[in-house]
Amino acid sequence: MPIPRRIVLQKRLIEFCKAASREELPFNVLQILGFGSFFRGKELPKDVDLVLRVDRRAERFALFCELLKKVRFTSHYEKAFPSPCQALLHVSTSEVPASKWPVGQRQRLTSLYSQWLEAYTWNMLHPQTDADHYALIGPDHFARRLIRRRFPKLNIVEILDEGAEPHIPLHIFHGFEVTVWTKESPDAAAALGTLLADDAVRQNVIKEVIHFSLQRRSLMGQIDLCREEIAVLQDQAVPPPAGDGTDDAEWHAGVPRLTHAAAASKQSYSASVAFRTSGIIDPDTFRTINDTDTRTLIAEADGVRTAIKVLQEDLEQWSELKEQLCCARYGPNVGAVPLDELAAALMLNHGPSLLRPRKLSFLNQQGFPTAIDINDTLLRARRGY
């Protein structure tokens, strides 16, 4: 009989916490926080969402970087060794004086370094972009790769310095975080026993249902405002926002139909942020939601989260259309090409070509012309005829 997925993930998470205790990662882990479906009791969670707080100033990584630099920039190693890992083993065992190693640590660190590098090819150590180059001199890149390989389905959403505020990407929404492990309290098995108890899971579910509902309302408010802004931008008798459009408060205040939409959007957004910050549930809301059984709440949380993802994708489309309409309104030859045609051409011409079908579908739904020659439209707009 197969082991339930939750038990597999729980055991894997405990092993990961033990690896953090044994300092097997390229940085020193200070705290492991969890959130998401695993901690709100979903029977078949896809993965375990985690946030790490770390100290990146680990001596073991500094020595690793020194050895890796020698491996990367000694040209004959690539011909002599099939993989960077084998070259690193050679360097660490044959060419590094004992004075470079912490006392008694050569064998242990050599084993660790091999794990960090074993999945890398020579091509991967010759990056083509600045971003890839800088990734190779920082611990996060190696840590993420190691965790994916050794602890699959543990999803490291963010890696934060001690005391840093989370900057979780906009498409990640959650209403709670739990502490799974710290250096001071390293018994992850005991912590999970408490965190995954029925009462704790139910509290997490209630918080997340409320937060997701507020987040959905916030996104809907932002979309409503964006739609109103687009309708105003299509009316060439109304001036567009001044400047680069990053702060539209003055524009909203001067256009009556935008004033109400902006106020409603701000109110729903503030409510979402307030709950995300405090986690406080007002008594009336708690009494209402507490009458619902946990299984139903879990299903509700999943449903609202799916709706949030769809709304986020919609907001991206509306926001880009607004941006391109602003560009069209500020073009040097406004009126030479129909405004909607120019905005559609600008939007379809912007960004990766693989997103174009989705943009075409969106523009069609909103009644913008899409049966256009993009290059011809942009050329006519530049020429003014």
The more confident residue out of 51 and 170 is 51
Confidence of residue 171 (pLDDT cuts 50, 70, 90): very low
> Tokens in use for 60?
């073991």
Q: What is the pLDDT of residues 347-380, one digit of tens each?
A: 999 999 999 999 999 999 999 999 999 999 999 9
pLDDT for 37 beyond 50? yes
What pLDDT does residue 143 have? Answer: 96
DSSP state letters, 193-257: HHHTSHHHHHHHHHHHHHHHHHHHHHHHHHHHHHHHHHHHHT-TTSPPPSTTSS--HHHHHHSHH
- The radius of gyration computed from the CA coordinates of the chain, to the nearest angstrom, equals 27
What pLDDT does residue 114 have? Answer: 94
Q: What is the pLDDT of residues 278-301, one digit of tens each?
A: 878 888 888 888 889 998 999 998
Q: What is the mean pLDDT of the chain?
A: 90
Distances (CA, A) of 285 to 177, 266, 301: 20, 21, 16
With pLDDT > 90 as the criterion, what percentage of the chain qualifies?
Answer: 67
Distances (CA, A) of 12 to 39, 78, 149, 160, 250: 14, 35, 12, 22, 53
User: What is the value of pTM for the model shown?
Assistant: 0.80
What pLDDT does residue 170 have? Answer: 42
Q: What is the pLDDT of residues 40-84, one digit of tens each?
A: 988 899 999 999 999 999 999 999 999 999 999 998 999 999 999
What pLDDT does residue 166 have? Answer: 67
Question: Residue 228's closest CA among 247, 256, 268?
Answer: 256
Place of tokens 């020579």: 122
Confidence of residue 167 (pLDDT cuts 50, 70, 90): low
Yes or no: say if 177 and 35 are a contact pair by the CB < 8 Å rule.
yes
- DSSP count for the chain of H helices, then E strands: 16, 4
DSSP-derived pairing of the beta strands 48-55 and 154-161: parallel
What pLDDT does residue 43 have? Answer: 86
The more confident residue out of 242 and 360 is 360
Q: What is the pLDDT of residues 335-348, one digit of tens each?
A: 789 999 999 999 99
> Tokens in use for 329?
């309104």
What pLDDT does residue 93 have? Answer: 86
The more confident residue out of 230 and 245 is 230
